[in-house]
Amino acid sequence: MEEEIIYSKYSDHPEVLTLVGDYCSLLKREFFNGLRISTPREEMDLRISSYEKSNIGLHDGLWTSATLISGMKRKSLLTLSFKEIICEYLVGFSEKEFVFFSKNCDKGYFTTKNLNTYKLFYKKAKNDLEKSVSKRESIILPSSEDFFITKDENFYVLEFLARSKKRAEEYFNLNGEEPIKFGLINKKLVNSSTQTVLNQVWFSSIESGSKLSGNRNLKYIGNLRCMKK
């Protein structure tokens, strides 16, 4: 039985809709109701512009459109090209294709049939190295273990998500200039799989230190911020 989905709206941001439920049910609702998942940059913008007003993101975390991609004994990748991955399952986003995708999602994470998805995005990340960080589609993360983003270390990860060094700095300041932890997909799970393992990036609340995580089970109840197309 599909989980009930709760909607929240904001008077100061009428273009934004927050859905609450399990990720797979939320994703299905997003695809078939003319909405799109908000990007990490959009979430940072909302948190900054609504601070001390509606306080979007102050108390609640959410899934974002960013995707963590892991392959056996390889450094994880981070990409914003979410729909390129999902199209492997959702060609045309029809109800029929979604049946397979939903079963895949029931594991609590996504997998593809082999390591080709990882290799594709690794190649993109390598090719993008000559571009400025904010112009890249994919990046290679600095460690195969959980890591922290500070002003002096790994800041390029936040800049990539913010699509702007200035915006990354503004958000880091809003977060109290505290280190932001980035948690990766469970290493035991990744190393025991011969497939590419993927998960959506969870962006925790400001109160929780704005932690980023690719290890949140997709079946947990949580928020998905959507923007009207």
Q: Is 22 contained in some domain?
A: yes
Q: Is 106 contained in some domain?
A: yes
What is the full DSSP assignment across 91-154?
GGG-HHHHHHHHHHHTTSSEE-SSTHHHHHHHHHHHHGGGS-GGG-SEEE-S-SS-EEE-SSSS
Q: Is 49 contained in some domain?
A: yes
Residue 192 domain boundaries: 6-228
Q: Is 62 contained in some domain?
A: yes
CA distance 197 to 224: 21
Q: Is 1 contained in some domain?
A: no
- Output the tens digit of pLDDT for each of the chain's 229 residues: 344 556 677 778 888 888 887 777 776 665 556 677 889 999 999 999 999 988 999 999 998 889 999 887 788 999 986 666 655 544 444 444 444 455 566 667 777 666 777 888 899 899 999 999 999 999 999 998 999 999 999 999 999 999 999 999 999 999 999 999 999 988 888 887 777 888 889 999 999 999 999 988 887 888 888 877 6
Q: Is 60 contained in some domain?
A: yes
Q: Which DSSP helix (H) or strand (E) runs through 168?
A: helix 165-174
How many domains does the structure of the chain reveal?
Answer: 1
CA distance 90 to 7: 25
Helix axes 165-174, 155-162, angle to 10 degrees: 110
Q: Is 56 contained in some domain?
A: yes
| φ and ψ at residue 103, rounded to 5 degrees | -65, -40
Token couple for 58: 């102050």
Amino acid at 56: I
